[in-house]
Chains A and B, each alone.
Chain A
Amino acid sequence: MKKIALAIAALALTSGLAAAQTVRLGTEGAYPPYNFVNDKGEVDGFERELGDELCKRAGLTCEWVTNEWDSIIPNLTSGNYDAIIAGMSITPERDQVIDFTQDYYPPTASAYVGLSADANIKGTVAAQVSTIQAAYVPTTGATLAEYATPEETIAAVKSGEADVVLADYDYLAPIVAESGGELVFVGERVPLGGGVGMGFRESDKELKQKFDDGITAMKADGSLNALLAKWFPENPPKY
């Protein structure tokens, strides 16, 4: 009896240790195809598959958490989750507060979308709050209209609240394709940001290294390219 109790205690202890390796991944859950909540109510998308694969390779148990975009960095630094994997572009400003892995999505162009090809990109431009696009718009002399979610930026253009929306090209491309001609790209693409990477607390170098190694490996064996081709079929980027 004592032995059994001991064994159970030992098991509980070791499983506790193993489970201590649980890594909580924070995402927005509203930025398809990077991350979104699927019909079952679970986090899904390119980053879900990528994150799960990286966790598997690093031998970690991962748990997905959704958090509002606005407070996604403060909640990381205060320890509510351990990593951000939310289509977040690597920028010098963000890099001062958190640490980024190498990019798992190459630096891409942002693009303007409006109701007609001659829409005014110097007029009112919709962008999601706290994004590289929202930081860029005022430098062009246009008026910035900020929205909490990417969905709302599109709605603003459709309703005429804004002349155009500025967002990642890859987010916009399928929306334009499925809009049946209502939405069109306007003007040239704008190169912004340093690619998309995972964000970690600056004090968490070890964990960051694990994921960084995983991304290196996935780039080397082509599995990252396969994932990119699956989730961005229109114009898959390649490493």
Chain B
Amino acid sequence: MSPSQHSESGGRRLDRRRFLTTAAIGGATIVGASALGGLDADAAFAEPMPSLDTAIPAAFAEGRIVAINRNVLDVAGSHGERYLIQLTNATSVWKLRTTTAEAIEVGDGLYARGAAMPDGTIAADAVWVNIVNVYVTIRGIAKDRLHLQHGSAEVVGHIVPDTTTASYLGGALTADLSKTRIGQEAQVLGAWRPADGNIDIARVSLGH
């Protein structure tokens, strides 16, 4: 993509955001405990919702991307399956953070959720690229990384400024990682790096 095309699409994106912001703040329904009155919260959860389009079966794909052709990801499943995954402008893309299809590369691993199309492809609602969620023990702490033990393997968890967050015993996610301790057990959700097998940390949930 040329720089001028890039700025043009960036401009369109900003215009779109401006339009959506006006709608989101101006014409919105306010939903909150006060707006709907005091609810018995435990009883408030809904009955299972039927799929919006019961004719379209839900689909899931898992594997490594072997090719990218325009908006279609060619994915080799880990157990010999092959998937063609269509991305649209309604497809959410996660790769360490919420991003766009341009961030996806050949060699990345992915999970995709969407709808099975009659032609055998999957129209993706959401794709999560390189996402991993591992149970680890913190073995070392440095300025820009955590040394993690995952099973018998040693993994480096990179701390990414403005992205990595921590949650202490279920508390709200915070950018403050200063309460991490060596020897602590933790769940690390992040983006796996295919090149070296290490992880860029999106969030670290700390236990006791």
Genuine A/B complex: no
